[in-house]
Chains A and B, each alone.
Chain A
Amino acid sequence: MGDGGRLMLFRRLRDSIPLLPFFAVVAIFLIVPTVTVLIGAVYDEGGFSLARVQALFTETALSALSKSVLLSGSTALLGAIFGALLAWLIVTRPPESLVRRTVLSLCSVLAQFGGVALAFAFLATIGLNGVLTLWVQEYLGANLAGSGWLYGLPGLILVYTYFQIPLMVIVFLPALEGLREQWREAAISLGASTWQYWREVAVPLLTPAFLGSALLLFANAFAAYATAAALVSQGSPIVPLLIRSALTSEVVLGQSGFAYALALEMIVVVAVVMVAYNLLVRRTARWLR
């Protein structure tokens, strides 16, 4: 390496200094845990072993995985559709509109309203002893809480959707705002109908952003833990709860290795979804290039 090369290396090093804190955070909170999980899943009693990974194919683990995917997939879909519709309604209001600003602020708050507080809000409203349940029972004679549906998968879908929709609004709104009025005018002056404009201009432009947002919702729901932990008391219907049980059970001991395998499984699922997303976006955005 000549002087020029050394100077270049020095410059590169100097230029990357501002990024150091970011690299540090990524290393400590992403790379190290991922590698730990990977090793923990296949390293047992001083050697390589696939026993822990094999345990992923037991009935309990497979059922938790399918319910997790169902929960994340359905709430991502519901959230994406309703969130996109709501975002579109917001965009059609003028920027200074009070309704628009109110709904937007509300969405910012609700998108972060998860965890124990949200679960408790639902329990106290439509749980078996919820305020609304008792009121409806007394005055209308109907039983809202039914057979305790709130404490299982249907309840989780409802509660998750509650924070997925506002999150979708927040992440999808910038894409909608990026649709320029001139494009619509250009399309119409070239003789396109409104339907044709949406089908051939707006929807193709928005598809990558829509898919990206839906992926974010999926990952958001897939990894959510506190809400489910506060809502579900019996059994471990989804993967994050199964990991909790494997790590902290006071009754069945020595399952921490299984927790590593489950965590690895979650990483794989998210990786698969991200690769699929990339392929989809590449396909749908090809004409933009």
Chain B
Amino acid sequence: MTSLRLTAAVSAMAVLFAAGLTACAPPEKESTGEQTESGVKAGEATSAADFGGMEGLVAAAKREGELNVIALPPEWANYGAIIKAFGDKYGIKVNSVQPDAASQDEINAASQQKGKSTAPDVFDLGQSVALANTELYAPYKVEPFGDVSEAFKDPDGKWVNDYGGYMSIGYDSSRAPDITGVDDLLKPEFNGKVALNGDPTQAGAAFSGVMMVAVSQGGSPDDIAPGVEFFRKLKGAGNFLPVDPTPATIESGQTPVVLDWDYLNVAETKKLPSWKVVIPPNAAVAGYYYQAINSDAPHPAAARLWQEFLYGDEGQNLYLQGGARPVRADTMVAKGTIDRTAYDVLPPVDGGATFVSVDQNQAATKYLEANWATAVG
């Protein structure tokens, strides 16, 4: 009796489970897309020319009608406005999922949903995740590919930096005295006030924050130790505030001083007028994001059109209006196509920019893993 009942229950469950799985799974989609005019499949097109020019690309993207983006917070680098502008301009529906996800989540989503119509079409990734997964990207050269200097792109166009910024100190001038450099943070007036955006062994922004402090203390991308040492002193002085800053903590005054990318700090000034942003002198640590197309993109033409839009003057200026520094800023300044108002409010940079290579990043990560927890724990 019992076994009979069990068999019935289990078989019923199995049937339902199978049905549920099928129901949950979105339809499989041919991922390489339709044929373009030049006979190349959309998923293998490496430039707009393969579609017979921009018009052909726009037409192909419109036929696909949708674009899947992931991990693009509306407040981050003006992505809310960018998504809307793209959708309005081309009549393509942009499906923006998991806006607050991390870079690694984008890669995870692409591998878990491989071949599904819900997989992400494009990625916007932090450096280490981007460079660890280049086999997942489809090479594509946007029309202004030549404007981007060699250091900011893969020679085949597998990835291109889209926007970036400098590590900065944001502070609420109504709650903290003026800050001109990193050393100010050790003053007693900053007791319990200095927050870092995350744990540097986990979050890219926090990693760059420690690197910026290191550079200001005589370190270099090859030597992050002075940065860790500074945070040890900061913690000892009682000034380090172990809270992850968010717009809510900043506006409510819970995190009066925040080490974060300048575009994120600049975005806060719109909501909190007393919020000031400074890039410490001689410690301009730059970080750029990496834009890439998923080689298994369910909407390959729309993914390529998205790239053209982002790297065109319109997309680059939209990044700029969000406080981010678009990768083509220099050529746009020269051509006079840059949005001057937005460009002029960016915090000034003093001294040359410091870039951290992948090898330097890995060495610094090892040092942080061994020493960070004891410094601030």
Q: Number of contacting residues on B, CB 8 A?
A: 57
Q: For chain A residues 196-249, which have a beta carbon within 8 Å of chain B? A: 230, 232-236, 245, 247-249
- With A234-B377, A247-B104: A253-B254 Cβ-Cβ less than 8 Å: no
Residues on B with beta carbons closer than 8 Å to the beta carbon of A256:
108
Q: Number of contacting residues on A, CB 8 A?
A: 41
The reply to whether A233 and B198 contact each other, CB–CB distance below 8 Å, is yes
Most chain A beta-carbon neighbours within 10 Å: one of B11, B105, B193, B238: B238
The reply to whether A24 and B192 contact each other, CB–CB distance below 8 Å, is no
- With A123-B254, A252-B201: A16-B16 Cβ-Cβ less than 8 Å: no
The reply to whether B242 and A234 contact each other, CB–CB distance below 8 Å, is yes
> Which A residue sits closest to B376, measured CB to CB?
A234
Q: For chain B residues 186-229, which have a beta carbon within 8 Å of chain A? A: 191-193, 195-196, 198-204, 207
Residues on B with beta carbons closer than 8 Å to the beta carbon of A245:
199, 201-202
The reply to whether B103 and A250 contact each other, CB–CB distance below 8 Å, is yes
Binds B, one of A6-14, A168-176, A261-269, A273-281: A6-14
- With A27-B16, A123-B243: A129-B255 Cβ-Cβ less than 8 Å: yes
> Which B residue sits closest to A155, measured CB to CB?
B242
Asked if A288 is at the interface (CB within 8 A of a chain B CB), the reply is no
- With A13-B8, A23-B12, A253-B132: A233-B244 Cβ-Cβ less than 8 Å: yes
The reply to whether B105 and A248 contact each other, CB–CB distance below 8 Å, is yes
The reply to whether B201 and A249 contact each other, CB–CB distance below 8 Å, is yes
Asked if A151 is at the interface (CB within 8 A of a chain B CB), the reply is yes
The reply to whether B199 and A27 contact each other, CB–CB distance below 8 Å, is no
Residues on B with beta carbons closer than 8 Å to the beta carbon of A250:
102-104, 126, 128-129, 202-204, 207
Q: How many A-B residue pairs have CB under 8 A?
A: 135
Instruction: Specify which of A24, A130, A252 is in contact with B365 (CB 8 Å cutoff).
Output: A252
The reply to whether A253 and B192 contact each other, CB–CB distance below 8 Å, is no
13 A-B pairs (CB sep. < 8 Å): A16-B5, A16-B12, A20-B13, A24-B20, A124-B254, A129-B193, A129-B255, A234-B377, A248-B104, A248-B105, A249-B201, A251-B203, A254-B132
* Complex CA–CA separation, A145 to B192 (angstroms): 9
The reply to whether A252 and B199 contact each other, CB–CB distance below 8 Å, is no
Which A residues lie at the B interface, using CB under 8 A?
8-9, 12-13, 16-17, 19-20, 23-24, 26-28, 32, 120, 123-124, 127-130, 145, 147-148, 151, 230, 232-236, 245, 247-254, 256
Residues on B with beta carbons closer than 8 Å to the beta carbon of A124:
252, 254
* Complex CA–CA separation, A118 to B363 (angstroms): 38
Residues on A with beta carbons closer than 8 Å to the beta carbon of B345:
none
A150–chain B nearest beta-carbon distance, Å: 9
> Which A residue sits closest to B111, measured CB to CB?
A256
The reply to whether A16 and B243 contact each other, CB–CB distance below 8 Å, is no
Given A19-B12, A250-B102, A251-B203, 15 other A-B contacts at CB below 8 A? A12-B8, A20-B16, A24-B13, A120-B248, A124-B252, A128-B243, A145-B192, A148-B192, A233-B196, A247-B105, A248-B104, A248-B105, A249-B104, A249-B202, A252-B202
Residues on B with beta carbons closer than 8 Å to the beta carbon of A247:
104-105, 108
Residues on B with beta carbons closer than 8 Å to the beta carbon of A26:
13
* Complex CA–CA separation, A12 to B104 (angstroms): 47
